[in-house]
């Protein structure tokens, strides 16, 4: 059990007043950038990077990684309270988190989200501790066909779960794919769907789309419904936090499943966004009573949050061990590593065990610090909802537009947000689901790249997706997910399904 | 009264050109890669050196505009004609991109300030591969046309142009598979999913240390300077140049470049050129260059122009042959 003694060494390195202070500062800054949509973890970490040039690498990585944890928690907060995901990976949390907050249970929603996020993160770190040596080898087995299979599985576990007309789901998903293709194409090096507009070269930012579709769209609806927030009546009490904590064990099965999905997606590294969507899709599929999904089902909050954070944490392992960043934030930290004079890669574990295990130890402590800090402040966040809509509404609009500008310092993006806002409003009015569009936008270009790379590798033969046990396994799993309704009917559970479908919610 | 003020203003404007340019408000460093990319590390290293040695009084703001292989940043800077507060960081992609994609800027929309370093290219194969030298590699490739898969970063960019040049020089045929970044190409090679890549030293160093990939040769005119061993007693200086190992490409390198928008005063160009010159003379710069196995080479003015012209000529030849040239 060599890893364990390394970990203890790591703890002894980082348990000093100096490092713990850095942790707290990092988490607080992180929550701040997470709460402001558009700023987000990758930008926050890049802004902080120059400050770390003069620090020793261990303090520097603690500061940056703790900021990342804080930002992940902050991102969940805005998803739940305002339907504005701060990070792509917290989109799935809005599906049930926002309705629950709207029903006057903001405290419960936030507590559930933070607790499951904390559990997910800890599970991710434990996995890193136990499997660090093995995981690097596993991740190396992933090539383009395997990645495509994973994205296929993510789509498959999400499709067909929606209560909407399949044609409408198809329409929004195709729109999402179209948005994902805008900009420079990796495989051909050409520009697509830019219509000669310079601002479209960088593509359509996913964050701009979700802020418009969810944030502005929702505001337009709320305004139309009479300028009020249903959450105003909710009383915010510390007891609610405790009650929600007591509730947690009921979702152990959801948490366990989401942890496995999250860790798997984190190390492969397909990333936290795929993990949270997949986890949400599966939670809904395996739920006996689907009627509450989309209306504030606690499992709809717990599952994506657990998966998001376990994947986010686990994604640091491929970064350290292979030099492949699993997320945008990990990419920035990797840049930092190089500037501090460390080379990410398999030898980092051998050359600088103090750094690696100090970081891993700080992940345990940092996440505990983050959970305690956010839980303690839940009532404060939740009470924001008691502020009258006539004040909160304009503030959110201002935050969304400044956030949209900040992503790429582009005024064009502010027009895009407005466009997406109107689109989101129309979608809601016409009963088109937004989630498939978002999923296609996030994973669409990655899936396309992986597919086309696979085709180049195989000279155009689809058999590459059945060429080894790993890729075959994932593909079969994906096909099973896609055809599950057919199988379910064949086995004769269709009665149960029909009952569920009647109540089924739109996502 | 009004006349007097006007007279004074006129007198002032008459004096100002005599005073050398000095930034009086924050300077924006436009980085034409995403956070964590090679250009990003370059710009942030320059930023940290400027801050540490106080080479410039005005504060620096770094913004990443890496969309469209960097086109986003160049288009953005080109839009600020005459603005000396937009310093753009890139590679040879500044003059390469407009030749391969219909991007809405021309190379002339930016004024060259300087190049600070040259990044190297190597041929790498998997660590367990039986191939140990470039000659065997080329022979194997010729025996089975289009069987060898070369991975690289982006499409029709430096990596693919080099692979095409190797193919042209040797008569072998390869399959090129574009990935999002050199880092991805490195891992795909370490995992044995592709047969070779032409990554920069920094992109493959970690994998080489662990013996998961190994270098065959480097496209430098001479060998790397002596340095510490990296793996199995072998260091950068033990890697043969491609020319000496039997692949007749003398030199293929990528400059790390800095630009201003077109139409800025010569004073501003001179100011930044001097600042960058000082940056390139610090020990921190030497550290950065050594750590990333690049070659420090300060090129400005006529030297930089000559370099660009010959680099462009070589590239355009390849683009024409492959039919990638966009007019």
In order of A43, A99, A356, B50, the CA distances from A337 in angstroms are 17, 41, 11, 20
**Residue B203 included in any domain:** yes
| 302-341 in chain A: CB under 8 A from chain B | 322-325, 328, 331-335, 338-339, 341
Q: Do β-strands B229-231 and B213-218 pair in parallel, antiparallel, or remain unpaired?
A: unpaired
How far is Cα B166 from Cα A237, in angstroms, rounded to an integer? 70
**Whether residues B194 and B307 fall in one domain:** no
**Whether residues B133 and B175 fall in one domain:** yes
**Whether residues B39 and B93 fall in one domain:** yes
SS3 B296: strand
Domain count, chain B: 2
The domain of B144 spans: 122-245
Contacts of A191 in chain B (CB under 8 A): 68, 101-103
Residue A238 is predicted with a pLDDT of: 75
Residue A267 is predicted with a pLDDT of: 78
**Whether residues B215 and B174 fall in one domain:** yes
* Nearest chain A CA: its distance from B5 CA (Å): 38
Residue B296 is predicted with a pLDDT of: 94
Beta bridge partners of B149: B175
CB A310 within 8 A of CB A186: no
Q: What are phi and psi of B289, to 5 degrees?
A: -65, -40
Chain B within 8 Å of A453 (Cβ-Cβ)?
Answer: yes
User: Both tokens of residue A165?
Assistant: 């007309």
Residue A492 is predicted with a pLDDT of: 56
The beta-strand segments (E) located in B186-313 are: 196-197, 213-218, 229-231, 234-235, 253-261, 295-300
Mutate to test the interface with A, among B51, B206, B289, B319 (most CBs of A within 10 A): B206
Closest among B125, B155, B123, B152 to B252, alpha carbons compared: B123
Chain A within 8 Å of B289 (Cβ-Cβ)?
Answer: no
| 36-65 in chain A: CB under 8 A from chain B | 42, 45-46, 49-50, 53
Look at the block and give the residue holding tokens 């599929």.
Answer: A285
For A139, residues 6+ apart whose C-beta sits below 8 A from its C-beta are A267, A268, A269, A317, A318, A321, A322, A324, B187
**Whether residues B43 and B133 fall in one domain:** no
**Whether residues B72 and B42 fall in one domain:** yes
Q: Do β-strands B175-179 and B110-120 pair in parallel, antiparallel, or remain unpaired?
A: unpaired
Contacts of A316 in chain B (CB under 8 A): none
Closest among A301, A299, A302, A295 to A506, alpha carbons compared: A295
Boundaries of every domain in chain A:
2-140+147-163+176-503
**Residue B18 included in any domain:** no
A338/B102 CB distance under 8 A: no
Q: In this predicted model, what pLDDT tens digit does every residue of B147-185 receive, in sequence order?
A: 999 999 999 999 999 999 999 999 999 999 999 888 889
The beta-strand segments (E) located in B41-200 are: 60-64, 86-90, 110-120, 122-126, 149-153, 175-179, 196-197
Contacts of A50 in chain B (CB under 8 A): 44, 47-48, 51, 62
Average pLDDT along chain A, 507 residues, taken 10 residues at a time: 79 88 90 72 74 82 90 85 79 90 86 93 90 75 89 77 72 92 90 90 85 84 68 62 87 92 81 86 84 88 93 83 70 76 75 85 90 84 75 83 82 93 92 84 87 94 93 90 72 53 47
Chain A within 8 Å of B88 (Cβ-Cβ)?
Answer: no
CB A323 within 8 A of CB B187: yes
How far is Cα B50 from Cα B86, in angstroms, rounded to an integer? 16
**Whether residues B115 and B38 fall in one domain:** yes
Q: Do β-strands B86-90 and B253-261 pair in parallel, antiparallel, or remain unpaired?
A: antiparallel
* Nearest chain A CA: its distance from B148 CA (Å): 10
Average pLDDT on B20-48 reads 89
Lowest mean pLDDT across A2-11, A16-25, B73-82, B214-223: A2-11
Element of type H or E holding B114? strand B110-120
What CATH number does residue B85 fall under?
3.40.190.150
Task: Indicate the residue of A46, A188, A347 with minimum beta-carbon distance to B206.
Answer: A347
For B72, residues 6+ apart whose C-beta sits below 8 A from its C-beta are A201, A202, A408, B32, B65, B66
Q: Do β-strands B234-235 and B253-261 pair in parallel, antiparallel, or remain unpaired?
A: unpaired
Task: Indicate the residue of B101, B180, B205 with minimum beta-carbon distance to A190.
Answer: B101
User: Both tokens of residue A326?
Assistant: 């699993």
CB B83 within 8 A of CB B26: no
Mutate to test the interface with A, among B35, B44, B177 (most CBs of A within 10 A): B35
**Whether residues B115 and B149 fall in one domain:** no
B65/A322 CB distance under 8 A: no
Mean pLDDT of chain B: 91
**Whether residues B263 and B206 fall in one domain:** no
Rounded to 5°, the CA angle A211-A213-A218 comes to 95
A345/B209 CB distance under 8 A: yes
Choosing from B201, B219, B245, the residue where a domain stops is B245
Conformational region of residue B154, where left means phi above 0, alpha means psi within -120 to 50, and beta covers everything else:
left
Chain A within 8 Å of B205 (Cβ-Cβ)?
Answer: yes
How far is Cα B211 from Cα B126, in angstroms, rounded to an integer? 9
* A271 DSSP assignment: -
ipTM of the complex: 0.87
Chain A within 8 Å of B32 (Cβ-Cβ)?
Answer: no
**Residue B15 included in any domain:** no
B35/A335 CB distance under 8 A: yes
B178/A189 CB distance under 8 A: yes
**Whether residues B166 and B90 fall in one domain:** no
CB atoms within 10 A of CB A47: 16
Average pLDDT on B2-21 reads 57
Residue B7 is predicted with a pLDDT of: 57
What CATH number does residue B231 fall under?
3.40.190.10
| 406-425 in chain A: CB under 8 A from chain B | 408-409
Contacts of A143 in chain B (CB under 8 A): 188, 191, 193
How far is Cα B255 from Cα B118, in angstroms, rounded to an integer? 4
Chain B within 8 Å of A468 (Cβ-Cβ)?
Answer: no
**Whether residues B218 and B154 fall in one domain:** yes
**Whether residues B199 and B277 fall in one domain:** no
The chain B residue lying nearest A326, using CA atoms, is B184
């Amino acid at each position: 059990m060599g890893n364990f003694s390394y970990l203890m060494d790591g703890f002894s390195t980082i348990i000093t007043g100096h490092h713990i202070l850095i942790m707290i500062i990092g988490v607080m800054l992180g929550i701040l950038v997470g709460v402001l949509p558009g700023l987000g973890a990758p930008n926050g970490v890049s802004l902080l990077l120059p400050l770390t040039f003069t620090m020793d690498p261990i303090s520097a990585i603690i500061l940056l990684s703790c900021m990342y944890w804080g930002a992940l928690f902050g991102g969940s907060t805005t998803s739940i309270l305002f339907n504005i995901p701060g990070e792509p990976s917290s989109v799935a949390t809005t599906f049930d988190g926002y309705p629950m907050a709207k029903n006057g249970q903001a405290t419960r929603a936030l507590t559930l989200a933070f607790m499951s996020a904390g559990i997910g993160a800890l599970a991710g770190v434990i996995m890193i501790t136990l499997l660090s040596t093995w995981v690097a080898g596993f991740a190396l087995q992933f090539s383009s066909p395997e990645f495509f299979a994973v994205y296929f599985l993510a789509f498959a576990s999400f499709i067909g779960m929606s209560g909407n007309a399949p044609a409408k789901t198809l329409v929004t998903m195709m729109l999402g794919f179209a948005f994902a293709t805008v900009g420079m194409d990796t495989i051909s090096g050409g520009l697509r769907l830019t219509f000669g507009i310079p601002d479209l070269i960088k593509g359509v930012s996913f964050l701009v789309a979700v802020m418009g579709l969810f944030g502005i769209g929702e505001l337009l609806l709320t305004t139309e419904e009479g300028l009020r927030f249903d959450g105003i009546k909710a009383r915010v009490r510390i007891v609610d936090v405790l009650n929600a904590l007591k509730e947690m064990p009921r979702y152990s099965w959801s948490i366990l499943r989401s942890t496995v999905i999250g860790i798997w997606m984190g190390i492969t590294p397909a990333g936290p966004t795929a993990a949270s969507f997949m986890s949400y899709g599966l939670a809904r599929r395996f739920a006996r009573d689907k009627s509450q999904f989309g209306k504030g089902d606690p499992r709809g909050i717990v599952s994506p949050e657990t998966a998001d954070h376990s994947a986010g944490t686990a994604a640091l392992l491929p970064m350290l061990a292979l030099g492949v960043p699993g997320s945008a934030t990990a990419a920035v930290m990797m840049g930092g590593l190089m500037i501090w004079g460390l080379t990410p890669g398999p030898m980092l574990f051998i050359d600088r065990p103090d750094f690696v295990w100090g970081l891993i130890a700080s992940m345990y402590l940092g996440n505990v610090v983050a959970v305690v800090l956010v839980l303690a402040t839940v009532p404060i966040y939740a009470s924001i909802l008691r502020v009258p809509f006539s004040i909160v509404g304009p503030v959110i609009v201002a935050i969304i537009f400044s956030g949209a500008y900040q992503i790429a310092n582009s005024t064009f993006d502010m027009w895009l947000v407005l466009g997406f806002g109107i689109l989101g409003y129309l979608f809601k009015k016409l009963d088109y689901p937004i989630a498939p569009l978002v999923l296609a936008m996030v994973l669409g270009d990655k899936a396309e790249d992986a597919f086309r790379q696979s085709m180049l590798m195989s000279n155009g033969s689809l058999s590459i997706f059945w060429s080894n046990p790993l890729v075959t396994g994932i593909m079969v799993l994906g096909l099973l997910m896609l055809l599950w309704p057919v199988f379910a009917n064949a086995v004769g559970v269709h009665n149960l399904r029909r009952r569920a479908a009647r109540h089924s919610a739109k996502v | 009264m009004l006349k007097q003020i006007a007279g004074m203003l006129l007198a002032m404007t008459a004096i100002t050109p005599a005073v050398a340019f000095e930034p009086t408000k924050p300077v924006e460093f436009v980085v034409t890669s995403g956070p964590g990319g090679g250009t990003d590390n370059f710009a942030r290293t320059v930023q940290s050196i400027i801050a540490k040695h106080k080479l410039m009084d005005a504060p620096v703001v770094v913004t990443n505009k890496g969309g469209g292989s960097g086109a986003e940043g160049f288009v953005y800077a080109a839009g600020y004609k005459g603005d000396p507060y937009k310093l753009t960081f890139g590679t040879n992609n500044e003059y390469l991109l407009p030749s391969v994609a219909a991007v809405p800027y021309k190379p002339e929309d930016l004024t060259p300030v300087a190049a600070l370093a040259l990044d190297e290219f190597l041929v790498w194969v998997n660590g367990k591969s039986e191939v140990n030298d470039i000659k065997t590699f080329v022979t194997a490739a010729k025996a089975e046309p289009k069987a060898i898969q070369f991975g690289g970063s982006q499409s029709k960019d430096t990596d693919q142009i080099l692979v095409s040049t190797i193919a042209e020089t040797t008569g072998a045929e390869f399959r090129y598979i574009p990935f999002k970044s050199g880092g991805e190409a490195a891992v795909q090679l370490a995992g044995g999913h592709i047969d070779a890549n032409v990554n920069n030293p920094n992109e493959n160093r970690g994998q080489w240390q662990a013996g998961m990939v190994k270098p065959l040769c480097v496209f430098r005119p001479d060998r790397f300077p002596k340095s510490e061993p990296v793996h199995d007693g072998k260091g950068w200086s033990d890697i043969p140049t491609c020319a000496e190992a039997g692949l007749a490409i003398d030199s293929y390198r990528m400059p790390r470049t800095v630009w201003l928008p077109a139409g800025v005063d010569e004073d501003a160009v001179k100011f930044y050129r001097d600042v960058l010159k000082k940056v390139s003379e610090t020990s921190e710069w030497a550290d950065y260059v050594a750590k990333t196995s690049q070659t420090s080479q300060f090129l400005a003015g006529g030297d930089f122009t000559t370099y660009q012209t010959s680099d462009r000529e070589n590239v355009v030849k390849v683009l024409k042959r492959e039919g990638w040239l966009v007019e």
